[in-house]
Amino acid sequence: MDKRCSILVCSCDKNEDIWPYFFYFFKKYYPTCQFPVYLNTETKGYSDSDMPVTSLHAHKPSDPEGWSYRLRSYLNAMDSEYVIILLEDFFFTDYVRVDELECCMQRMDEDQSIANFIFDSGRHMCHESEFPEYLIQDRKAPFRLCLQAGIWRRTTLLKYLRNHENPWQFEVWGSKRARRWKEKSFVLKENEPKVFTYPSGGAIADNRWRGDEICKFMMENGLNVDFTQRGIYYPGDPRKTEIVRRSFVQKVWQVFKSLI
């Protein structure tokens, strides 16, 4: 087991039905994984007969904090220098570029100012960098902090987190907050081979399967999925996920906490 880096799969209890599919594709397209794998969720666990998966639990019903609080708790419990962040609906469709992960860690070993390598393209406010496959993000770039697949320096990611934020707030307000720090953030160029290949946006949208292509992909892999349980999402469909309503004062207080 290579303990320089950990893999943290971010999820929640309500998505336990897709965990077997995530790990099916993980094992298929990353059979040589030598890093410890952790599943971040509230109270439930997952076990796999073919690979060790450690379920991390840091949430109690009485906890006032949510997603970022849990992520922060898990990162504090790890001792690896680096962490690969994946979401539970990143179903791999091609083999992981293990050599590129090793290359990124070597570059981060040699330059302590590197915060991360995000293996996603299409970012704004980026410039050519010393690494030919990557662009460097401007400190004021929108979504400079991004939850697409990437490798992070664990201690730097901890610094960026605020306990009260959900994933979307982390990306929006965390990116504004990160402007004050000088760490380098790199993103993969658009025409470069993907390090982790998975459906754009993930397999799930608004708690439903993302379109007919995902359904076809699952069936082509011989997976017996009852698509009626979640339903299928198509672009333009009305939103089904409940939106949390907050008062003006609550919104102002949250933004204030995010920017300090």
Give pTM, 2 decimals: 0.92
Using alpha carbons, list the distances in angstroms from residue 85 to 7, 37, 57.
Answer: 6, 10, 17
Q: Using DSSP, state whether 40 is helix, strand or coil.
A: strand
pLDDT of residue 228: 94
Structure tokens at 17: 């039905």
Residues in Cβ contact with 135 at an 8 Å cutoff, skipping those fewer than 6 apart: 123, 126, 127, 128, 129, 186, 187, 189
pLDDT of residue 67: 87
Coil, strand or helix: which one is 114? strand
Percent of the chain with pLDDT over 90: 75
CA–CA dist 4, 22 (Å, integer): 23
pLDDT score for 244: 58
Chain-wide mean pLDDT for the chain?
Answer: 90
Residue 15 has pLDDT above 70, yes or no: yes
